[in-house]
A and B are shown apart, each in its own frame.
Chain A
Amino acid sequence: MNIFFLIILIFFSGAILSFIINKIAPKFSGITTFITIAVVVFLFFTQIEINSITQFSLGGIQMQFGVNNYTYIFAILVLGLSLLASLYSIKYMQNNDRLGYFYSNFILTVTGMLGIIFSRDFISFFIFWEIMTWSSYLIVLYNGKHSSKSGMKYMIFSAIGAYAMLTAIVSIKGSYGTFIISDAIQQGAFNFSENIYIPIMLLIGFAVKAALMPLHVWAPNAYSKSPMSFTSIFSGAMSKMGILGMGLVLASVYSQTTNDNTFSVLVLKQVLGWLGGITAVMATIYALIQTDAKKLLAYSSVAQLGYIIVGLSTGTKLGVMAALFLAVIHAVFKGALFMVAGAVEKQVGTTDMTKISGLIRKMPFTFFTALVSIIALAGIPPLGGFVGKWMLYEALITESNNYFLVIVIFFSSTAAFLYSYRFLFGLFLGQEEKETEHVKEAPVTMIIPMVILALILIVTGAYPGILFEPIAHGMHYLGFSDVNWDMSVLVNVWGEESNMAYINLSIGVVFVVVFLFLTIKGYKGTKNVGTKDISTSGEIPTENENLTFQLDFFKPFERAAAPLYKRSMDKIWNDLGNALEAIFDFTRRIYTGNGQTYALFVIIFLVILLIFKNTLFTN
């Protein structure tokens, strides 16, 4: 049997199996999911050859499956993260209801993503896209009545995106007579001088999943309301499907730029770049006023996706490379962070930062993961996040000359320190209050995936070349020739470099020296005390005094940035929704429920037709 079909089949049967097993033995539902994904991961990396193509036809439409160098990047990302998330999920979801429902949709979502990666034609792409969408929608609903509204929002926006995409797809078929992606590209389907709305429609479709402003409003709620083991792939991997599509479209748009469409391509770049930038800023400032850790991370995801889109919008080698690198790294650290939030939720029962604090001693491994991931998220050297950020800035400054966008991005990533700190402080640092005394470290199967992700971040910081290699191949597929990369040296087009090896060397040496110095010196005289043993203006607080500082954390910033908070995209969309509801209500009233009215309708209709018969029905 063909390997692609086999993988899809394994997934589907895994989905059904995990549903059935839940009825018999709920405990094994999660394990089934993990095994299913593990088998697929094994098959994928041992059996699949890059650039092999399988042709088949379904419903009279020619379809192709295959993996190319570009989609391979995303395949690694999706499969790796899904495997870890499913392992994590076993303990995380334990004792929950409807596990079969959860796990079968979990697998279906992964199937959708992998299917998108396999697809070489628009129809199977779209089919898997939709499978991914509705199965994830069902998981968003999973947490009960509070999430049905967010689920609805997610589904509506996904539908808008998907149907924009479908419009483009059928238009391609109408104009170029093919559904095969590469054929369409070759014939110039994404050429701006031929038609402008096909690529734009596709980009809108992908932008929804990539949570680009103004289509992002579904994301914060959907991310934070789903179970965390799922959100880690929801935000980590699924949003990257939008990036995958955008990258594909934009690369063709750029490479087919000719003299007569330079201007429109330029406009596209600017619009996309600025939208990405504004997304990043707005999501960041909303992230830092959240009190729920999950919500904070959700907004942060939106912001990070903004950077990635900015990278793609530059259309330069370094920019696209930065975008792809950030896409992978974001998957890793945001996957890890949502797992951290999940671990806290599991062990403490809430992720409301105003309710918990001081978990560091209780959950050291979780804290370690959180710390490493946050450092990567904030883009502080020497971790992988920095590499991505560096390339992004350099691309904007040296290659695409978008100087003010740099400032916007920089503002957003500086403000990101605020919520990064908020996250770490809110959950792990600060006063240890009585309420969290009983908390223990998360189970080991939850720790393992988190720590693996953290280690990946550390390794990619020192050797970003590990990721550059597949990315460079992928970019070659997209049409960027001569992509240079080095194992651990970052170079921009002006020839300046940042050498991760030296950076790590310096940091490592100083770390060892100072750490040893601080630890050994006066070791015996060092007294370890708890968080109640502090001095506040000469007073020593008592056991029961609550000194937790969690409310209005960044109030000064909020006050300073008040104008930015005034306008909310949510409100605009809500108003639009209300207006539509009013229209629906109005049309409903056409059907009065009165038989006489209906009879009148019939007669009026007949009369109108008879009056206009000569204009309506002529040969």
Chain B
Amino acid sequence: MVITPIHYIIVPLIAAFAIPLISKIHKELYRIVPGIVMFYNIIISFVLMKEVNEVGYISEIIAGWEAPWGINLIITPFSGFLVSLISVLGFLIWLYQYRFKKVIDVGEIKSYGIMQMLMITGAIGIIITGDIFNLFVFMEIVAITAVSLTSFYRGRDGAEAGFKYLLIGSFASAMVLLAILILYTQVGTLNMAEISERMHLVPQGIKATILILFIVGFGIEAELFPLNGWAPDAYSQAPGPTSAAFAGIVVKAGIYGLIRIIFTLFDIDGAFDFLIIAGLVTMIIAEFSAVKQTNLKRMLAYSSIGQMGLVLIAFGIGTKEAVFAALFLMFNHAIIKSLLFMTGSILMYNSKDKTILSIHGIAKKLPYVSILFAIGSFAIVGLPPFSGFWSKLYILTAAANKEMILLIIAILAVSIVEIVYYFRVVSKLYFAEDTEHIEIFKPSINSLIAMGVLAITIIVIGVYPDLITGYLHNAADMLLDKTSYIKFVLNNNVQIQ
């Protein structure tokens, strides 16, 4: 069987419909099948990335309609990189949640695995599609599944968080849809490559309006301030694995959308400055807010928002090395924040009232989880020799090359704030008077493996970043090389071997 990009979409969709049926055979299949799908995603990514490295681009035309008329899926080093990342992460999250007690207990287990899988599929779809309306559709898939996962625990808090997400998420959909509509009236096409080619025809004012609508729409998913009010609630109320998926996967898709729009579709210089400012504000406010949080998962959520701000800053700098750094940071954030949410959720499940205070001194009872959390904390604040350091370094170097000293100082000042709240938790985990814990909820072995793999990745990349910098450089080159992207999509459509 030839593996093509469409497998990313088709296989999970088929599985989603098939699972309820085949699960009649054995109940366990509810949980196992998504895992198989996720694993298959990894295989697809592996094969496609190898191909991309040789060929440069892969494009698949759906239903025989060639671009710009038909819908096509495009794998470039850039999108391929993100998709592979999401695939691997998706599998690890599945591994983590497999036999996750708190999920099983609730009983809605049938929907859980499927929705998680669909959410990931949606995120992948956002990234690989070459068609802007299709992008909107995938975004909707993500939003709907994410909202229902947020309110998975049927409590008051979960429902409230889910509702907020739904409220704000519908804004996002409306904005994006509106933007697409206006855009279509102007350029008459939905293919992104072609839109990009015809963009110069659009009058300046309308162009800016469209961009603003896109920014607001995708900004909500990308957790841009002040559009990110839904995020802390959603992150903290969602089940542990879902929080990890939000941080590692959903946000990445949102960022991808924003970046794709700004880098490929538009050529407005002001947008880059806007990214820097918006990113900076997002980062500062989120990190400041994180300090005073009493709920660990909320704290992680704010930290996640802050990191996204930093990613946007890096993209906003706009040079090749800055984009490279931004991609590196996205990669790091995906693995590190997933690890933190995975461990943090387990810690939270062991606390009486979900506060940091009630997990003091828990390291004695949960040594592995605690040390994994500590590694994650060290990595996220950017201490060497963990992977977080390198991305921070590259961002700073990129900023320094453009002589943005104040920006560097702001980023580093915020990093100090980050150190404060992360290390406060870590030190309390290990060296604080024990508080009363509820019955200890120990992670299962597969959860530990998933988290261990992430931790090892963090350390290995931290010690030897060259393992990944090559891919990242390719991806960064690709993102900035708009013309060859357009040329490829529009002229060279026969790429399926």
* Chains A and B share a contact (CB less than 8 Å): yes
CB distance from B330 to the nearest CB of A (A): 17
Contact digits for A45-84, partner B, Cβ 8 Å, 1 yes 0 no: 0000000000001111000000000000000000000000
B465 in contact with A58 (CB, 8 Å): yes
Known: A58-B465, A166-B412, A597-B229. A613 touches B212 (CB 8 A): yes
Q: How far is the CA of A597 from the CA of B212 in the complex (A)?
A: 21
CA–CA, A60 to B472, complex, Å? 12
A552 CA / B396 CA spacing, docked (Å): 52
Q: Does A261 belong to the interface (CB within 8 Å)?
A: no
Segment touching A, from B83-91, B95-103, B133-141, B414-422: B414-422
A504 within 8 A of B: no
Q: Are A598 and B289 in contact (CB under 8 A)?
A: no
Closest to A595 in B: B164
**A156 lies within 8 A of chain B by Cβ:** yes
In the complex, B26 has a CB within 8 A of chain A: no
**B423 interface hit (Cβ, 8 Å):** yes
A583 touches B288 (CB 8 A): yes
Task: Find out whether the CB atom of A591 lies under 8 angstroms from the CB atom of B289.
Answer: yes
Q: Identify which of A156, A585, A597, A605 gathers the most chain B CB atoms within 10 Å of its CB.
A: A605
Query: Which chain B residues numbered 410 to 448 have a C-beta less than 8 Å away from chain A?
Result: 412-413, 415-417, 419-420, 423-424, 427-428, 430-433
Residues of B within 8 Å of A152, CB to CB, are 420, 423-424, 427
Also in contact, A170 and B397, with CB within 8 A (given A597-B229, A598-B230):
yes
Whether A159 pairs with B419 at a CB distance below 8 angstroms is yes
Which residues 379-426 of B have a CB within 8 angstroms of A?
Answer: 383-385, 389-390, 393, 396-397, 399-403, 405, 408-409, 412-413, 415-417, 419-420, 423-424
Q: Which residues of A contact B378 (CB under 8 A)?
A: 134
Contact A587 B205 (CB under 8 A): no
User: Closest residue to B360 on the A side, CB-wise?
Assistant: A145
Whether A126 sits at the interface, judged by CB under 8 Å, is yes
> Do A148 and B432 form a contact, CB below 8 Å, given A166-B412, A595-B163?
yes
The residues in A between 569 and 619 inclusive whose CB is less than 8 angstroms from any CB of B are 581, 583-585, 587-588, 590-593, 595, 597-599, 601-602, 604-606, 609-610, 613-619
Chain A CB within 8 A of B70 CB: no
CA–CA, A548 to B393, complex, Å?
A: 57
Over the window 167-178 of chain A, the binary record of Cβ atoms lying under 8 Å from chain B Cβ atoms (1 yes, 0 no) is: 100110111000
Is B399 touching A602 in the complex (CB atoms < 8 A)?
no
Interface check B187, CB cutoff 8 A = no
Q: Is the CB of B168 within 8 A of A602?
A: yes
The reply to whether A163 and B415 form a contact with Cβ atoms under 8 Å apart is yes
Q: Which of B240-248, B269-277, B332-340 contacts A (4 or more CB under 8 A)?
A: B269-277
Provide the residues of chain A in CB contact with B430, threshold 8 Å. Answer: 141
Residues A145 and B431 in contact, CB atoms below 8 Å apart? yes
Given the complex, which residues of A lie within 8 Å of B205, measured CB to CB?
613-614
Q: Is the CB of B167 within 8 A of A174?
A: no
Q: In the docked arrangement, what's the CA distance between A602 and B303, Å?
A: 21
Interface residues of A in 197-232 (CB under 8 A from B): 197
A99 to chain B, nearest CB (A): 14
Residues of A within 8 A of B208 (CB): 613-614, 616-618
| A127 and B389 contact, CB distance less than 8 A | yes
B379 to chain A, nearest CB (A): 11
CB distance from A14 to the nearest CB of B (A): 16
With a cutoff of 8 Å between Cβ atoms, the chain A residues found around residue B269 in the complex are: 618-619
CB distance from A101 to the nearest CB of B (A): 8
Chain A nearest CB from B237 CB (Å) reads: 12
CB contact between B288 and one of A58, A130, A587 (< 8 Å): that residue: A587
The 24 sampled A-B contact pairs (Cβ below 8 Å) are A58-B466, A127-B384, A133-B383, A137-B423, A141-B431, A151-B423, A152-B423, A156-B419, A156-B420, A163-B415, A163-B416, A170-B393, A170-B397, A197-B405, A583-B288, A584-B289, A584-B292, A588-B289, A595-B230, A606-B216, A609-B212, A609-B215, A616-B273, A617-B268
3 closest A-B pairs by beta carbon, nearest first, are: A598-B229, A174-B400, A163-B412
